[in-house]
Amino acid sequence: MRTAIRCGIVAIALFVPLPGGSLLCPAAAQEPKQDAPPPKSYTFEMRGKPWGAVFEWLTDKTGVPLVSPNIPPGTFNFIAKKDQKFTIPQIIDIINDGLALQNYVLINRRTSFAILSEGQILPSWVPRIPLDELNQHGKTEIVSTIVKLKALAAEDTAGDVKRQMSPFGLVVPLKQMNALLVQDTVGNLENILATIRGGEQALLGPNQGTMQIFNLERTNGAALAEMIRNMMPPGSVRINSIGVGADGMR
């Protein structure tokens, strides 16, 4: 049982017949990735601790040294619920909530931590991470990443993105790549990325990048063609050849 189907103008969707009369895209046949172990969590409570002691605790737990021009004056208080534990990204968010009261922010450069004020933050101090690693960082951490665009134009989109950014934000359109280099807090970047994805989806249409698995055990060629035409945008699917023989569809 074979069906030759070509989808779209540029991309070709290849379906492979499986035993039992189903069609499956080869990429879908890959083994699922194993889930990563949950991140380690810690008891975290600071009662009137000098800021230096707070950063000593963080360095001790993470193994990442502090290299910074600033150590805020005064003390830090954080009292958690009994037996409550936090991951390191959550603890960085807690620390940043306290630092914000003195107009500082903790930068996690992976190789070191730094405490900087808004005017001291240079793009070279901000870690560049892949999009899929945003959820591994605290919402208040400042990072940069590259967002590749499909339907939107980088130069046109950059202005709209800039208006959504915090004082730590930075956006640079990469014209040749049709991409954006964006810098901001993780929480704000997640909101901006959701807006970009919504704009892209509106232009690309709801069926871009989707795949359906059809059971052909009781489906003839004409019915399959009709299902595909109904699923895809008008004009995006062309059926090269469907015939019916003694052994079924071919």
What CATH number did the domain enclosing 62 receive?
3.55.50.30
Query: Which of 117, 172, 180, 181 lies closest to 143 in space, CA to CA?
Result: 181
* 134 and 203 inside one domain: yes
Total of domains in the chain: 3
Per-residue pLDDT tens for 93-137? 999 999 999 999 999 988 999 999 888 888 888 999 999 999 999
Domain final position from 98, 120, 142: 120
DSSP-derived letter for residue 8 is: S
Residue 175: helix, strand or coil by DSSP?
Answer: coil
Amino acid at 77: N
Residues of the chain with pLDDT under 50: 1-29, 209-214, 241-250
Dist CA 244 CA 91 (whole Å): 64
Terminal Cα distance for the chain, rounded:
5
Inside any domain, residue 246:
no
Q: CA 16 → CA 68, 142, 159, distances in Å?
A: 57, 45, 44
Inside any domain, residue 250:
no
Inside any domain, residue 34:
no
* 87 and 165 inside one domain: no
* 95 and 129 inside one domain: no
Domain containing 192: what range? Answer: 123-210
